Amino acid sequence: MNDCIAIFGAVKEEIAGIKRAMNISDRVRLGKTNVWPGKWGVQNIVLVQSGVGKQRAEDSTLQVIDHFQPKVLISTGYAGAVQPELNVGDLVIADSILEVNGKRKYFSDPNWLDRAWNTPCSDGIKAVVGGLLTVNTVIHEPAAKRELGTSYCVQAVEMETSAIARVAEEKGLPLLSVRAISDRVDQELLDSSSFLGSDGEISTLKAGWYVLTHPGSIKSALSLRTQTQFATQSMTRFLSDLLG
């Protein structure tokens, strides 16, 4: 299936829109990785739910390449804004990918970068081309977001793309990363690091217990859920136009 495009998202919410839009032909389990091959419009797609973090992303990428031999890797999902001009639902098309305290910089494939830049956005949504920073944990404090944006000269932060980019470079495969903003630079988030289960997924039980024992967090949790749903819609529409 080496004419396929592999699309990676960390958690089910990030890929939910694509999954609904696809014509799925199978479900494959590769270790801890869930994969759905099928078609999206005219494209053969392998949709990948990797789990959260660099190690899970690296493992998933290697497994998918070995099993499906994709021609392109696309890293997608949510990202936190670290620049004030970005709003929820806006899109960051990464021209470069950095890692916190890392010495390497990775780059998106120029042809796919140009293709993404020339794909129109939905009304009210803007796309920016710029740097993406892969971090090791959720950045939940506005001051920390602003500091990362200044120190690394990037647009947004997330937790998987540098690992996917490293494997893509090693395997000689083109990479594109498109991330939808789920939270603004001035928005404080719940510290969700304790919500992660051993499978690299957000534990509904742990998250629910946190909200129950921290009643003041309910409004923030509901707001973030609405924002991520909007980000999913924005990202799905853009990728549909990009690949159509």
Q: What is the pLDDT of residues 152-199, one digit of tens each?
A: 999 999 999 999 999 999 999 999 999 999 999 999 876 655 555 555
pLDDT in tens, 11-53: 999 999 999 999 999 999 999 999 999 999 999 999 999 999 9
Residue at 129: amino acid letter: V
Q: List the one residue out of 72, 86, 88, 29 whose CA is nearest residue 177.
A: 72
Q: Confidence band (pLDDT; 50, 70, 90) for 67?
A: very high
How far apart are the C-alpha atoms of 164 and 177, rounded to whole Å? 9
**48 forms bridges with which residues in the sheet?**
8, 35
Cα–Cα–Cα angle for 14, 232, 235, rounded to 5 degrees: 105
DSSP per residue over 62-100, as a string? Answer: HHHHHHH--SEEEEEEEEEE-STT--TT-EEEEEEEEET
- Give pLDDT, residue 2: 67
Please write the tens of the pLDDT for every residue from 78-131: 999 999 999 999 999 999 999 998 889 999 999 999 999 999 998 889 999 999
Judge contact between 9 and 16, C-beta under 8 A.
no
What is the per-residue pLDDT for 46? 98
- Per-residue pLDDT tens for 135-150? 998 898 999 999 999 9
Residue 210, pLDDT > 80, answer no
Question: Domain residues for 169?
Answer: 5-243
Token pair 């129109």: residue: 120
pLDDT value of residue 188: 84
Total number of domains in the chain:
1
Neighbour tally for 16: CB within 10 Å:
17
Query: What's the pLDDT score for residue 189?
Result: 78
Mean pLDDT to the nearest integer, 52-73: 96
* Residues in CB range of 134: below 8 A, 6 or more apart: 54, 97, 98, 99, 100, 157, 158, 159, 160, 161, 162, 163
CATH of the domain at 239: 3.40.50.1580
- What 3-state class would DSSP assign to 161? helix
Closest CA to 55 of 140, 136, 116, 150: 136
